[in-house]
Amino acid sequence: MARIKRMGEVYSAGDAKVTVAGIYDFDPSAISYGYKYAHEYQRGLKRKPRGWRMGAIEYESSMTLPLDIVAELEKMFGDIALIRPFPVNVTFANFENEMIHDIIWMKFTGNKRDVTSDGELENEFEMFVLDMKLNII
């Protein structure tokens, strides 16, 4: 089960289900996603802020995958950064025991290996997010 960090808040992995591109046994070790808006000051003659304005939305996401899953993706597709964007469905129960369902459209930005003698064989991948729908009913 994945460790979920949604908009900076951590949820228990006990009841989490993560489906990647329709594959139910993908089972990432962790997934983190969220967004923020660019903010800027509106300055006056004295160069002090007198107001603000909001800019574009900025998505962020990372996914930690076991290396055996990454190896299978490489066998099927070659370079995983060339895989077209895919949907990631995340379903879990929040602290009030309500079911939360989020859909994130993302793709890999690259590939890497981080193998140590005492660590687990998994890597955290930075993802490029195209769209994010939170709390779908």
Beta-bridged to residue 106, according to DSSP, are: 86, 129
Rounded to the nearest 10°, the torsion over CA 80, 83, 87, 93 is 0
Alpha-carbon distances, residue 17 vs 23, 24, 79, 92, 132 (angstroms): 11, 8, 26, 6, 17
State the pLDDT at residue 92: 82
Q: Residue type at 4?
A: I
pTM (predicted TM-score): 0.78
- pLDDT tens digits, residue range 56-87? 999 999 998 888 888 888 898 889 999 999 99
For the chain, the C-alpha Rg in angstroms (whole number) is 18
